[in-house]
Structures are given as C-alpha cells and as structure tokens.
Amino acid sequence: MCQGANVRSKKTVKYTRDQLNCIDSHVSRHFGQVTQVLKDHIFSKSKFDLLIVEPTPSRNFFTVVTRGLGAYVVDRNYENNISRPRNARDRFELIICLDSSWHISDACNEDELWPLKLLLSLCHYHNGKDQVIQSGLSFDNEQPYANNTDLCAVVVDELSDNFSSSARDCLMPNHELVHFLQLLPIYKYEFEFLEHFGFENFKRHMLNESFIVHNNRTSSIDPKHEYFNNIACDYRWQDRVAILKN
C-alpha cells in the first residue's frame, strides 16, 4: 500500500478508451510489445484481459499483464503528497513473469494455464467488496497449482528491480495512478517462513531468488539444509522444525 495514503473506499470506474490506450503504451514501453490478448473465459461476466509479452533476446521470459483489474479503484486521501490531487483514486494491475519455455498458447493443458488462472483469481479477489490487492498480501492454495509443480502459494510484491522504477506506475492524463504489482508463486516452506517471520524478512530471504517463475525451481528453504537449521533457532520456528523434518 502506498505510504501516506489511506484507503477510503472502492468503487467500479471503468477505464475510458484513452486510459486503456495509456496503459497499453505503458506496457509496451516498460514490459515489451504485446503479441497476444487473452480474454477471461474462466470466470463468467468478467472484463479482465491478459496481455502477453513474449520473450526477446534482452528479456528471455514471458510477461503476462492484467488489464481491467483497475476498474475497481481505491479512493485514497493523499494529504502527505502534494503532487497528487486530494482524494485521487488509485488503480492496480498485476504482472507475472514466466520462464521462456512456457507454452502459454496451449489452452488445453491445465499444467500450462495455472499462472494465468492465478492472475485472474486475484483479479476477482480484488473485485470483492472489502478486499484490496496490495504489496505483502499472500495466499495459500493449500495444494500445488498443477501436477507439474509443487508451488502452492503466492505473494504480491512490488515490481522486480529488473524493471525500471518508472514501470511501477502509470500516471493517467486525469492524474489517476495505475500501480503495477508482481506475483511470486512460492513453496510450502517459503509460505510458512513468510507467515512466521513477516513480509520484510521474507523479502530479504528471497533476495537472490529469480523473479521469473519456474515450475521446478529449487526451494529457498529446505529442512535438510544447514541454513534451515540456522533460522530454526528462532523460538517462533521451533515447533515447526520437528514437523517439517518428519
């Protein structure tokens, strides 16, 4: 959540055509040329699009960006930010970065579709009456997202430093702000670390992990590794050690 900004309420305010063009230009400028637009056919009565940016030699990964989540805007009071008009409304969109080997076009393969479904499910979460997507939010799926991965939870974070700082926000002509947040799917042990030690400690722990999603990346926390034993010295983690090692 933005510093100095207090959530007042949330309402549905659809993008205008000019605003959609502004977002499309921002995505092309900071994430790459959009080569495909997928409509949300998973959930009925949805207006969310997924913009697909294919890998390039300089960015060897897929970038998938939501378009339409920002229709559910958050009213904020920017008393501490004189550059923004009072009671400006904020909009959010999400991105996820996938390994270049991903077969996004294989719409019949559930094992390939799970990151797209994850994006859409969080769009519908934000669509709910009292829920707001923000950095630090996490969700436990309680089971792997697909048969070919053990990733089973997700955390919402600010954009990776691999993108320019100007990629994080798109300022509309009417001064509304579209803030881009990134999804990082994680493993069971990583989610439990996040729950026990908090988001800031989790971010420091994950500092060297790739922002690109791989179905079979090595977990950053393993009960068999020495580092796990070191963090387990914290008394808050003691009760979990015996369980995770069994």
Q: What is the pLDDT of residues 209-219, one digit of tens each?
A: 999 999 999 98
Which residue has tokens 């501490």?
80
Which residue has tokens 């409509």?
39
pLDDT band per the 50, 70, 90 thresholds, residue 83: low
> And the tokens for 150?
């053990």
- Residue 74 pLDDT greater than 90, yes or no: no
3-state secondary structure of 169: strand
186-192: average pLDDT = 93
| CA distance linking residue 135 with residue 121, whole number of Å | 16
Among candidates 3, 53, 21, 26, which has minimal Cα distance to 170?
26
| CA distance linking residue 140 with residue 135, whole number of Å | 15
DSSP run (H or E) holding 156: strand 153-158
